[in-house]
Structure formats: C-alpha cells, structure tokens
Structure 1
Amino acid sequence: MSFSVSVENIKCNGCATSIRNKLAEHEGVRAVEVDVAEGRVSIDADEASRNDLVAALAHMGYPEVGSVEGFKAATSKAKSFVSCAVGRIDNMTHG
C-alpha cells in the first residue's frame, strides 16, 4: 500500500536523498519517492506505519504541512538544513 505526505522544508535533491535513506531504514518500507518541487513524499509501506513515518519525517525537519507552528517550525527548518547538507554530501560521495 502506498500513501503520500505533503511536507515542509524540502529544498533540493540533498533533502530528497536524506529522506529516502532515513525512511528506508524503517521496517516495512518498500520504496520512497520524493517530489522536491511539490514537497511530497510517497511511501510504499503499510498504512499502519503512516504515523511513525510522519513522525520520522518531522524529526528530520520535514513536518507534515499544517502540523507545526511557531517555534517548532523554526526548529524544523534548522533540522531540515542539516538533513539537506548530509544528503548533499552523501550524493557527492556515493554518486
């Protein structure tokens, strides 16, 4: 079963790489696609794992659209910046 999550803060392919790599570590995740332009993450996994995966995205700095306000939003942007940088480095070192 697949589902999509619209998230905040996806800026580039580095972000997308970080998201794909981190979500792939979760049990039951079969595939992850990231649409940078739309800010959408499509996940092939059991629908029952949706809440855990949305929480993982938020922890990485990519909260679901409409779920974070105020100070938490600033914290999420900082986390996404770090995640983006890690993804860019990973892209450069692994192709």
Structure 2
Amino acid sequence: MRAYTDAIASALQDAPRVERVAQARLTVEVGYAEETHVRHWIEQAQYTLVDSRYTMTVRLTIQMPVTAVDAARVALRDLTQGRAGFPEHE
C-alpha cells in the first residue's frame, strides 16, 4: 500500500499545475460609434469576444474572469462616456 501511495505522490509532485479561473459573460450594448473602442478594449484586456449582434445598437458578449466583471462595467462606462448599457437578458 505504501508503495502505491509513494508512486502517486511522486507522480503528482512532477505533474504540471493548472490554474482554474471561474469565467463569466458580460453583455454590453453600445452605439456603432463606440464599437471599435470597445473591441480594442476587449483585445487589450485579453478577454474573449463570444458574440456580437447588430440592430439599432451593437451588443457584444465578452467572456472574462468572474472577478473582473464589476471593474469591466466601470471601465466600459468610462470608455463610452456613460453610454454603455448592460442588458440582463438577451
């Protein structure tokens, strides 16, 4: 039994560590004039653009760490001078 335990412990010690980060999706609604700025911000922040929809406005869905959502809302409001909206349901 001890040999198995030692073998497992040795294998786990050499195994690569993988950090798991909980993800969330944030949908932002902006005017066409702000879309380029928001896309650039997404790229700079190294988030993932998951979806984009075009109607009277542009609706972008962004994937990011859960811990970044509140700060992202503030940054997007600042970037768009308060014009960014955050619809709760699509």
TM-score normalised over the length of structure 1: 0.48
Higher relative contact order (CA 8 A, sep 6+): 1
Please say which structure displays the higher CA radius of gyration. Answer: 2
